[in-house]
Amino acid sequence: MALAVPTLTLTDNADDTGCVCAVTGSTAGSTNTLFSSPWSGGFIPAAFTSAGSRVGDGNVTLALAAGYYWVYCRSTKAGEDGVASLVYGVRVTTGALSIYEQCLDSVLATLQALSLSGISSANIVRRKVAWERRITLPGIIVTPPADTNGPATNGQNDFAYDVLLTIAQASNEDLTANLSRHLLWRQIITGTFLPVAGQAALAGVSAVHDVEVIHGPVVDGGSFKIGEDVQQLTVRCISRRNRGLL
C-alpha cells in the first residue's frame, strides 16, 4: 500500500533559531525526513539539504538562519517512498521587532558598552528625535531619522536603516576646551561600527549584511552658540530582503 502523503505546518520561532514543522497525516511507523532550501523569491530553489527527521507524526525542529525557505517531507517505510507537498515562502525571522528597531537597539547597546571617557552609559539613550531636555551632558541620543530602499537583484531590494548619533557636551562657548575628547569619541565610534571581515556586520541583527558610517558635522555652529558642542554620525544598516514578502 502506498504511503500517505503527510501535511506540513511550519511555525517560526521568531528568535533567529529557526522554525518548528508539524508533520501530520503520515503513515504510522514511517520515517519523515524534512528537506529545506533557501528561497530568494523565484520559482527555482537552491539545492535541498536534510533539516531533521522523526518517526510518525509530530514536530521537527528546523535550525535555519533568518530568511525564506522551501521545505518538503520525504516519508519512507519498508522500501516505499512518499513525498509531501512542497511548502514555499516559509519565513524564519529574528523576532517580533522590526529590523529598524533591532538596529536601533543594537547600536544603543554597543555604544553603552564602549565606556567612552566622560560619558556615562545612563546618558546614552534612544529617542524618537534628537532632543532630550533631561539628559545629563556629555551624552548621546540615538534616533531613527530615515530609511530608504532600492533594487539589489531581480527579486530583492536593499533597505538602508539610518541610525543617527547626536553626541553632545557642554561647551559654554569655549573655543578650545574638551575638543580632544570630542574628536576621540568620534574616532572610537566610527571604528566600532565599521565592518570587520569574519564578524557580523551588526551585533545581534542577522538581517543586516553591511554597515556604513556617514559623517555629519564635527561641531555644529548653531548648537555651539547656545553653549553645547554637538557632533553627529550616522550608522547606516543595510538589509537585503525579498520583494513583497516582509
Are both 103 and 219 inside the same structural domain? Answer: yes
Proportion of the chain above pLDDT 90, given as a percent: 54
- The boundaries of the domain holding residue 122 are 99-242
pLDDT tens digits along 180-237: 999 999 999 999 999 887 777 888 787 888 999 999 999 999 889 888 999 999 999 9
- Asked if 160 and 196 sit in the same domain, the reply is yes
Residue 44 has pLDDT above 70, yes or no: no
Q: How confident is the model over 36-57, as a mean pLDDT?
A: 80
**Would you state the pLDDT for residue 50?**
94
DSSP label of 208: E
Residues 104 and 212 in one domain: yes
192-198-204 Cα angle (round to 5): 60
Whether 165 is in a domain gets the answer yes
Q: Dump pLDDT digits (tens) for 81-99.
A: 888 777 766 778 777 678 8
Closest CA to 33 of 23, 25, 45, 42: 23
Same domain, 127 and 225: yes
Q: Name the phi and psi angles at 231, rounded to 5.
A: -125, 160
Record the pTM: 0.65
Do 233 and 111 lie in one domain? The reply is: yes
Q: What is the pLDDT of residue 41?
A: 53
pLDDT, the chain, mean: 88
